[in-house]
Amino acid sequence: MLAYDHPFVDGNGRTARALFYWSMIRQGYWIAEFLSISRIIQRAPAQYGRAFLYTETDGSDVTYFLLHQLEVIRRATQDLFEYLDRKSKELQEVEPLLRSGENINHRQRALLAHALRHPGAQYAIEPYRREHGVVYQTARQDLLDLEKAGYLRKRQVGRAFYFQAVPDLARLLMGNGRQD
């Protein structure tokens, strides 16, 4: 009805989708938080428009629109599961690389996994601290330990330290050897 009444100049569809998400989550369908129905609609805007047009031209029978939206939700759910499957496979590929004889904690493993997927990424102490909910000294020591192990390189800009994975990190982790 919000899209039909069209109370706003722009954003009626987005507002309707926000209300949909809110309603789903409120009713206990927490997975809706991770669905992207807007992306599905953007991929095929003509189908969305036709579903709306059929509803308007057939005595306001919302069956057309509901069937279309159910298909959109099904496809968004399928996209979510494909994404989760892809990420799971990535982690399965990375996990053996991160199993080393060295004492690497879960925070450091997460950083190394990220570095393997994002070559060239830079890491700083404060964002790392916030992400993992640890004190500054713990975050600093985690990063310095990874540098000492040869997995990261440290550089200083002003008073701040930035860390970046060594170029051959995957080989280094697979060989479980220290870079000298």
**Any idea which residues carry the catalytic annotation?**
6
Residues 6 or more apart whose CB falls under 8 angstroms from that of 127 comprise none
In the numeric block, the tokens 């938080």 are attached to 33
| Greatest Cα pair distance in the chain | 76
Phi, psi angle pair for 101, to nearest 5°? -70, -15
Annotated binding site for ATP: 10-17
Cβ density class 16-50: b for 16+ within 10 Å, e for less: ebeebeeebeeeeeeebeebebeebbeeeeeebee
Annotated binding site: 10-17
